[in-house]
């Protein structure tokens, strides 16, 4: 039973990784950019939630909505100010990556200046007794996290596969030039992708704060990195892959912790990344695309 | 600080042995002159310990920046864990010097080489999976590596963990002696990187940056050259780490965090991707500047990040681009300027 509850805990944190991984994966699928600033969007989301909830005294749902909107706006703004010029010029990949790193460092240091580097503690977001699931006691936070993130992932899958904007996203991802010729406003699609990804990151931030109620300007670093590992593990660019990768990383992490290796969990996660890259570089769900000249 | 100024394109066009010989001599003299300009004031104590310390840090940062430029500028791959390789070299050489039992005169240079070799070994382990793939995996893996190595140093007992490691055996506490070591190793590094880039191997490396598929089609073994360059860069970073360990005398894992890797990247980007001269200049300037602007230190990373973004957006090649300083060009320029002054309107002169 203990083993089972560890797995459920792992799935809980894993579903947060999955939500964040979706942001990486969607952006990468469309503009082939590892958006290093994505992890820091989580941090932004956490701070906005904290400000509205604790300083502003608003109810939780208002804080969550505000945080989602703010992060989506921040994502679009970052794309507009930092990336678009390079994307439209077909700049070398390394320039884009360095810009993304720059945005990430900028956000971290801006928030450190604004809120100091000492951690702020979040109140208990989801108070209440544990939920009983078929005889298994599951923490309330874990249950809420799992339900929320799985619902969101299903909605996203629907959005991408059924809606008109989803069709435009898939077309842009397939061939940006051809999509443009078909009358798709690819710039709008890219902006929309950043908005959706950042909004999901904001939800991830709230759920993460439910489980680990301490926020600091650098919290997004490692969280973002692990989410990226999850995205690569599942096959970058694939939505089910990101979900699966997130769950896998979460479970691997919680089992390592349970086995007494809490110091080396990060090393285990990167060990998994290196193994995957060695054996199946396109990830578990990714399709192996031949590079064309 | 040292300028390597053989212009390979010119000497390739006219491979006369004598010209190359003259050019080597000029370079040698220039390096010696530069060394004298700093070493003499340090030796007769007209520069105090604080300033000579900064000069030594400049040499160390030059090694790091030039070696990072080798991968990021010439090979076109982003590395975000250069400080990680540096820390491996620093701890290895310090622990070797303290525990080998050899006299320090032998243990120090051996420790530097060993530090470099261990860093290169780490480079190999990381590079093999990351460099076989196209794309940006190297960036993310080196970023993870930098963080992991820090955690591992904290967790292992013989590195002193978070309390840090006091380097008990140091080659010399005399700044004049230590500056000589740092200066000539930096000069050697610049020479090695310059020679590598202008060799047959270096042309393959640049070809990979320009178009990996075309390079592969032209018969360049891309994985081999990517790995070779990456390992060479890791080796040099390890050597720089060894120098650093001996210079500061105390190592803490915090020093080698992601921020330091980023700082090195800013030096490369600002100076110019694929310009060794640019790296040397920006490493020197960005080492001195924070010392001058101490009050400003809490804004430093914020300003660095803005500089990084703006340079990438408006001048992605950096300030120097791919240009290098060259004595030959300088003399040619001066001659042309002189000819112009003698004969107003007379356009071209000099070589």
Inform me whether the pLDDT recorded for A293 exceeds 70.
no
**What residues of chain A lie within 8 A of the CB of B313, using their CB?**
82, 85-86, 99
For Cα atoms B131, B134, B137, give the angle at the middle one, nearest 5 degrees: 65
In a domain, B180, yes or no: yes
d(CA B245, CA B82): 16
Q: What is the mean pLDDT of residues B146-168?
A: 81
B115 vs A116: which has the higher pLDDT: B115
**pLDDT for the residue numbered B145:** 83
Q: What pLDDT sits at residue B12?
A: 42
Angstrom distance (rounded) from CA A174 to CA B144: 30
Out of A109, A221, A281, the one facing B301 most closely (by C-beta) is: A109
B257 to chain A, any CB pair closer than 8 A? The answer is: no
**Top-confidence residue, B26 or B173:** B26
ipTM strictly over 0.90? no
Where are the alpha helices (H) located in A32-139, listed in sequence order? 38-50, 60-78, 84-88, 93-115
Collapsed DSSP state (helix, strand, coil) of residue B272: coil
**What predicted TM-score, i.e. pTM, was given to this entire model?**
0.83
Per residue in A243-259, pLDDT (tens digit) is 899 999 999 999 988 88
> Does the pLDDT of residue A191 top 90, yes or no?
yes
Q: How far is it, in rounded angstroms, from Cα A159 to Cα A124?
A: 32
- Our CA-based measurement puts residue B78 at a distance from the nearest CA of chain A, in whole angstroms, of 6
Predicted local confidence at residue B15, as pLDDT:
46
Q: In terms of CA atoms, which chain A residue is nearest residue B136? A: A34
Highest mean pLDDT among A58-72, A272-286, B284-298: A58-72
**Average of per-residue pLDDT across B304-329:** 81
**Tokens describing residue A12:** 């809980």
Q: Which of residues 37-96 of B touch A (CB under 8 A)?
A: 72, 76-78, 80
d(CA A293, CA A278): 24
| Residue B200, in any domain of the structure | yes
- Token pair of A207 as six digits: 């759920």
Average pLDDT of the residues in B120-148: 83
Is B148 at the interface with chain A, CB within 8 A?
Answer: yes
Cβ–Cβ contact B312 with A under 8 A: yes
Q: What is the pLDDT of residue A1?
A: 53
- Taking the Cβ of residue B134 and every Cβ of chain A, the question of whether any pair is shorter than 8 Å is answered with yes
**pLDDT for position B5:** 44
Nearest one of B303, B309, B298, B273 to B286, comparing CA atoms: B303
Cross-strand partners of A133: A136
pLDDT of residue B6: 42
Produce one character per residue of B273-308: b if its CB has 16 or more CB atoms within 10 Å, e if not.
bbbbbbbbbbbbebbeeeeeeeeeeeebbbebbbeb
Q: What is the mean pLDDT of residues B286-298?
A: 81
Q: Classify residue B350: in a domain, yes or no.
A: no
CB contact under 8 A, A94 and B77: yes
pLDDT in tens, A136-153: 778 888 888 989 999 999
Residue that wins the pLDDT comparison between B124 and A92:
B124
Q: How confident is the model at residue B148 (pLDDT cuts 50, 70, 90)?
A: confident
What average pLDDT does chain B have?
83
CA–CA gap between residue B35 and residue B244 (Å, rounded):
19
A220 pLDDT higher than 80: yes
Comparing B192 with B170, which gets the higher pLDDT? B192
- The model's pLDDT over A109-125, given as tens digits with 9 standing for 90+, comes to 999 999 988 888 888 88
Which residue from B130, B145, B298 is facing A277, i.e. has the nearest CB?
A: B130
Nearest C-alpha in A relative to B210: A92
Report in angstroms the alpha-carbon separations of A142 from A139, A266, B31: 5, 21, 64
Half-sphere exposure of A246 (CA within 13 A, CB side): 29
Task: Flag whether B90 is in a domain.
Answer: yes
Q: Which residues in chain A have Cβ-Cβ distances shorter than 8 Å to B144?
A: 225, 229, 266, 270, 273
pLDDT of residue B345: 47
Closest CA–CA distance from residue A162 to any residue of chain B (Å): 30
What total of structural domains would you count in chain B?
1
> What are the helix and strand counts (H, E) for chain A?
12, 4
B297 touches chain A (CB under 8 A): no
Q: What's the pLDDT score for residue B258?
A: 81
Lowest mean pLDDT among A80-89, A142-151, A223-232, B138-147: B138-147
Closest Cα in chain B, distance from residue A57 (Å): 31
pLDDT for A2: 76
Domain contains B65:
yes
Q: Is position B194 within any domain?
A: yes
Count of helices and strands (H, E) across chain B: 14, 2
Check residue B46 and give its pLDDT.
Answer: 78
Assigned domain for B280 exists: no
- In chain A, the percentage of residues whose pLDDT exceeds 90 is 42
Q: Is residue A272 over pLDDT 80?
A: yes
Q: Name A282's Cβ contacts closer than 8 Å, sequence gap at least 6.
A: A235, A288, A289
Q: Give the pLDDT score at A31.
A: 86
B177-192 average pLDDT score: 91
Whether residues B265 and A101 touch (CB distance < 8 A) is answered with yes
| pLDDT tens digits, B78-101 | 888 899 999 999 999 999 988 888
Q: Would you say B214 and B45 are in contact if contact means Cβ atoms under 8 Å apart?
A: no
Q: What is the pLDDT of residue A287?
A: 65
Chain A residues lying within 8 Å of B143, measured CB to CB: 225
Q: Which of residues 210-249 of B touch A (CB under 8 A)?
A: 213-214
- Pick the closest to residue B237 from B175, B192, B205 (CA basis): B192
Q: Which of B99, B95, B145 is nearest to B246 (CA)?
A: B95
Percent share of chain B, pLDDT over 70: 90
pLDDT above 90 (res B69): yes
Which residues constitute the domain of residue B130? Answer: 8-256
Residue B332 resides in a domain: no
CA angle B287, B230, A287 (to 5 degrees): 120
> Tell me: the pLDDT tens digits for A9-47?
889 899 999 999 999 889 988 888 888 899 999 999 999
Task: Pick from A90, A262, A274, A290 the residue to mutate for testing the B interface (most B CBs within 10 Å).
Answer: A274
| Residue B348 pLDDT exceeds 60 | no
What's the confidence (pLDDT) of residue A249?
Answer: 93
Distance CA B244, CA B257 (A): 15
Distances in Å between the Cα of B189 and the Cα atoms of A83, B3, B224, B232, B277 are 35, 12, 22, 10, 13
- Per-residue pLDDT at B91: 93
Q: Is B253 exposed, middle or buried (0-12, 13-18, 19+ CB in 10 A)?
A: buried
The string of pLDDT tens digits covering residues B235-277 is 999 999 999 998 888 888 888 888 888 889 888 988 888 889 9
Q: Which residue has the higher pLDDT, B350 or A277?
A: A277
Instruction: Give dist(CA B266, CA B279) in Å, integer.
Output: 10
Residue B14 has pLDDT above 60, yes or no: no
CB within 8 Å: B155 and A228: no
The span from the CA of A274 to the CA of B199, in Å, is 32
DSSP string, B217-246: HTT--HHHHHHHHHHHHHHHHHHHHHHHHH
Region A157-177: mean pLDDT is 90
Q: Are B246 and B170 in contact (CB under 8 A)?
A: yes
**pLDDT at position A42, please?**
94
CA distance B239 to chain A (A): 25
**Using a CB-CB distance cutoff of 8 angstroms, which residues of chain B are in contact with residue A97?**
78, 136, 139
CB contact (8 A) between residue B305 and residue A102: yes
What is the maximum span of chain B, computed from C-alpha positions, in angstroms? 73
């Amino acid at each position: 039973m203990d083993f089972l509850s560890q797995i459920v805990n792992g799935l809980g944190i894993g579903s947060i990784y999955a939500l964040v991984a979706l942001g990486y994966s969607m952006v990468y699928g469309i503009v082939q950019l590892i958006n290093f600033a994505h992890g820091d969007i989580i941090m932004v989301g956490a701070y906005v939630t904290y400000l509205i909830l604790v300083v502003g005294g608003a109810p939780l749902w208002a804080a969550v909505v505000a945080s989602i909107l703010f992060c989506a706006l921040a994502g679009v703004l970052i794309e507009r100010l930092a990336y678009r010029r390079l994307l439209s010029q077909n700049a070398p990949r390394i320039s884009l990556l360095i810009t993304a790193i720059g945005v990430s460092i900028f956000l971290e240091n801006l928030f450190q200046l604004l809120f100091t580097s000492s951690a702020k503690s979040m109140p208990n977001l989801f108070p209440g007794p544990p939920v009983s699931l078929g005889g298994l006691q599951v923490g309330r936070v874990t249950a809420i996290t799992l339900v929320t993130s799985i619902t969101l992932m299903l909605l996203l899958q629907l959005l991408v596969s059924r809606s008109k904007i989803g069709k435009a996203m898939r077309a842009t991802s397939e061939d940006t030039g051809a999509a443009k010729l078909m009358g798709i406003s690819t710039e709008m699609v890219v902006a929309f992708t950043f908005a959706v990804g950042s909004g999901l990151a904001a939800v991830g931030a709230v759920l993460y704060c439910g489980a680990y109620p301490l926020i600091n300007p650098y919290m997004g670093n490692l969280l973002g990195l692990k989410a990226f590992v999850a995205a690569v593990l599942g096959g970058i660019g694939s939505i089910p892959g990101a979900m699966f990768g997130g769950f896998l990383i979460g479970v691997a992490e919680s089992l390592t912790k349970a086995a007494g290796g809490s110091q080396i969990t990060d090393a285990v996660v990167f060990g998994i990344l290196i193994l995957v890259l060695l054996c199946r570089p396109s990830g578990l769900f990714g399709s192996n695309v031949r590079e064309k000249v | 600080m040292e300028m390597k100024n053989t212009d390979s394109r010119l000497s390739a066009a006219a491979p006369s042995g004598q010209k190359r010989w003259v050019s080597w001599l000029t370079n040698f003299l220039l390096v010696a002159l530069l060394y004298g300009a700093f070493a003499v004031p340090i030796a007769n104590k007209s520069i105090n310990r604080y300033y000579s310390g900064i000069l030594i840090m400049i040499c160390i940062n030059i090694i790091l920046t030039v070696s990072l430029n080798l991968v990021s500028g010439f090979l076109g791959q982003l590395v975000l864990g250069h400080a990680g390789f540096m820390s491996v070299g620093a701890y290895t050489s310090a622990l070797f010097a303290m525990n080998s039992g050899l006299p320090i005169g032998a243990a120090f240079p051996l420790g530097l080489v060993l530090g470099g070799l261990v860093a290169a070994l780490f480079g190999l382990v990381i590079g093999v999976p990351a460099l076989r793939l196209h794309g940006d995996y190297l960036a993310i893996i080196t970023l993870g590596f930098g963080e992991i190595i820090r955690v591992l140093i904290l967790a292992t007992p013989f590195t002193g963990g978070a309390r840090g490691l006091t380097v008990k055996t140091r080659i010399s506490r005399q700044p004049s002696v230590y500056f000589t070591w740092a200066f000539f190793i930096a000069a050697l590094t610049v020479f090695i990187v310059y020679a590598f880039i202008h060799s047959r191997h270096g042309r393959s490396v640049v070809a990979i940056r320009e178009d990996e598929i075309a390079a592969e089609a032209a018969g360049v073994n891309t994985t081999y050259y990517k790995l070779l360059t990456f390992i060479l860069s890791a080796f040099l970073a390890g050597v720089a780490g060894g120098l650093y360990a001996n210079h500061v005398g105390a190592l803490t894992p915090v020093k080698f965090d992601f921020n330091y890797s980023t700082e090195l990247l800013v030096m490369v980007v600002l100076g110019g991707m694929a310009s060794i001269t640019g790296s040397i200049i920006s490493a020197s300037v960005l080492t001195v500047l924070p010392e001058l602007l101490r009050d400003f230190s809490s804004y430093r990373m914020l300003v660095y990040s803005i500089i990084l973004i703006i340079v990438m957006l408006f001048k992605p090649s950096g300030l120097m681009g791919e240009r290098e300083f060259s004595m030959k060009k300088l003399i040619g320029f001066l001659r042309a300027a002189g000819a112009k002054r003698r004969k107003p309107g007379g356009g071209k002169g000099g070589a």
